Amino acid sequence: MPEIKIREAKLSDAEALTTLYPHWGIELAEKRIGRALNSKYEKRYIAEIDGKVVAHLLVRFERGAHKHLATFYSLIVHPEYRKKGIATKLVEYAISKLPENIEIVLAQVQHDNVGSLMLFKKLGFEQYGLLKDAWKKEKSCKDNILLKRAVRKP
């Protein structure tokens, strides 16, 4: 298995990210990467194998009285690279880079996304709730499972 490199996304990764999120398009991918690079409240990480971007994770930091909370979004691994421990490395790396003030990491997973749910549970996240109809498109709705992991003692 070649080495997995985890790092922050750069503007030059925009095209590669559209292979993970085809509906973004390069312009939107650049805008999103740029926002993370210029914000104290976001980090976008990618996993790279042999120079190819194969996974992505967005971390957002809350503000004010919620500034001890971070939320993980948009975790995805390219279908050809799944089941090789890449998501595990990406999530653990993002946790290791959290600022000192972060005490709890949150995540939401659609109830039928078994892979992500099992992954987060394996990495110590616990379910604390269910958001009914969190996702709505035309006539379909899906619930989100709400997950949390304490990363530091308050």
Ligand X SMILES: CC(C)(COP(=O)(O)OP(=O)(O)OC[C@H]1O[C@@H](n2cnc3c(N)ncnc32)[C@H](O)[C@@H]1OP(=O)(O)O)[C@@H](O)C(=O)NCCC(=O)NCCS
**Nearer to ligand X (CB atom), residue 59 or residue 86:** 86
Q: Which residues of this protein are in contact with ligand X, per CB under 6 A?
A: 74-77, 82-88, 113-116, 118-119, 122
**Nearer to ligand X (CB atom), residue 60 or residue 68:** 60
Closest-CA residue to 14 (of 26, 5, 32) = 26
What are the tokens at 18? 């559209």
- With the CA atoms of 39, 44, 45 and 49 taken in that order, what torsion angle do they form, in degrees rounded to the nearest 10? -120
**Nearer to ligand X (CB atom), residue 33 or residue 119:** 119
| Residue 29 Cβ vs ligand X, minimum distance, rounded to whole Å | 14
| Residue 127 Cβ vs ligand X, minimum distance, rounded to whole Å | 15
Side chain identity at residue 57, one-letter code? L
| DSSP one-letter code for 86 | H
| Residue 30 Cβ vs ligand X, minimum distance, rounded to whole Å | 19
**Nearer to ligand X (CB atom), residue 14 or residue 117:** 117
Distance CA 122, CA 44 (A): 22
